[in-house]
Chain A
Amino acid sequence: DVKVTQSSRYLVKRTGEKVFLECVQDMDHENMFWYRQDPGLGLRLIYFSYDVKMKEKGDIPEGYSVSREKKERFSLILESASTNQTSMYLCASRQENEKLFFGSGTQLSVL
């Protein structure tokens, strides 16, 4: 089975800190995605990547950046964490237009 692994299940950071969320997939998928999930708002796309070193902004990229130096790894970076970035972050991967495989999520709290 495809596995998408997110490095932390829970994370607590302080306002202004630089935060790295890591995601690794083991099935050589080309496409990778970062979403945030908030109650009542569903999933909102932050960034996605359809190949190594390629990235595209999603619906809410402000305050975030990403890095994809290797095909299996897609990192989400909060340059200067703020309290409104407290959320559940979900990483996903897929091959072309097939189904998405999701990680278990990282619950980030910014204090």
Chain B
Amino acid sequence: GDSVTQMEGPVTLSEEAFLTINCTYTATGYPSLFWYVQYPGEGLQLLLKATKADDKGSNKGFEATYRKETTSFHLEKGSVQVSDSAVYFCALSHSSGGSYIPTFGRGTSLIVHP
């Protein structure tokens, strides 16, 4: 079945550092790929998405490129801020009997220090 693997956290960075959170997936066909973010005490919200190979999703300075050849969707940001501290989830959504069941990775906690 479908699966998503993320790097384990927590990832601890200083403000203005470069961020990479790795995500790889296993799925048949051509799933859509997503990054969701969960700030403390809140539910998840969509950060960015890509629906086909070589698409780049971007939002709030974050970006990720759908790489079918390496089955990856790594999240990057050039300069993180304290306010980016949150848990980040990589996810895919793939047609399975028409029900489009979403599959999530385990989440990566990011802590940014001033």
Contacts and interface: CB of A to CB of B under 8 A. Distances in A.
Interface residues of B, number: 21
**Which DSSP category, helix, strand, loop or mixed, fits chain B's interface?**
strand
A33 B44 CA distance: 13
B89 A43 contact: yes
Contacts of A105: 42-43
A56 B93 CA distance: 16
B43 A31 contact: no
Interface in B35-58: 36, 41-46, 49
Contacts, number: 50
A96 B99 CA distance: 8
B102 A100 contact: yes
Contact of B102 (A4, A33, A40, A50): A33
Interface of B: 32, 34, 36, 41-46, 49, 89, 93, 95, 99-102, 104-107
